[in-house]
Amino acid sequence: MAHINLLPWRAERRKQREREFFLQLAAAFVAAVLVLFVWAFWMDQRIDNQTERNSYLQGEIKQLDERLAKIKDLETVRSRLLARKQIIEQLQANRSQMVHLFDELVKTIPASARLGGLKQTGDSMTLDGVAQSNASVAEYMRNIEASPWMGHADLRKTENTHGDSRMPYAFGLDVALSRPKSDENGDDASDDHAPILPSANPGAAKPAPAASAGKPASPQGNGGTK
């Protein structure tokens, strides 16, 4: 019977498979290196692109910050101009107020009282003066509250200083200022109050009885001084 030796063929087949395996392994390694290089190149391109975009965005943000700073400066200037405009409008609205106030101070003060000082702060006025008696101060307060340009009067102080024999009582008043409705509506104050002047004259003449009433009150003041 013939015997056939297959060992050389098997060894050659094994060696061929080993060569094919190493060739495939080398090809896979080369392919992996190529893929890695391609991926690295692609990532570098993306990073460069993103860096350019970031630089562009930073430049735009810087320009916007400069514009916002200019806008803030303009808003500051606008607020200052609006404040000046409001002050001018307030002065324009109150330009005739002092004239009417001085006129009302002359009309409302009784003959038995005398003002020594006044100070206006916003919509309030502080009055300081002397009077013959407390009744003169009360009459003055009633006249002030009846005035269209002055409102409620608060008595801050009243005391007998024993200084002047005629007007020994020193007083202080806090007066709230007001406006007539016609003046608040923007009408001419001089035209609106023109018909009121005749009716205000009797009111201004009311201090005359107070003066006569103040004459017998002066001995009380003198008595207080004594």
- What distance in Å separates the CA atoms of residue 183 and residue 199, rounded to the nearest whole number? 18
Of 57 and 205, the structure prediction assigns the larger pLDDT to: 57
Is residue 146 over pLDDT 80? yes
For the chain, what percent of residues have pLDDT higher than 70?
75
Label residue 4 by pLDDT band (50, 70, 90): low
Label residue 6 by pLDDT band (50, 70, 90): low
Mean pLDDT of 177-184: 67
Label residue 218 by pLDDT band (50, 70, 90): very low
Mean pLDDT of 124-151: 88
Mean pLDDT of 182-203: 42
For the chain, what percent of residues have pLDDT higher than 90?
31
96-110 tens-digit pLDDT: 777 788 888 888 888
Mean pLDDT of 28-47: 94
Is residue 226 over pLDDT 90? no
> What local confidence, expressed as pLDDT, does residue 212 receive?
36
CATH fit for domain 97-183+202-225, picks 2.60.40.10, 3.40.50.300, 3.30.1360.100, 3.30.70.20: 3.30.1360.100
Does the predicted model carry a pTM greater than 0.85? no
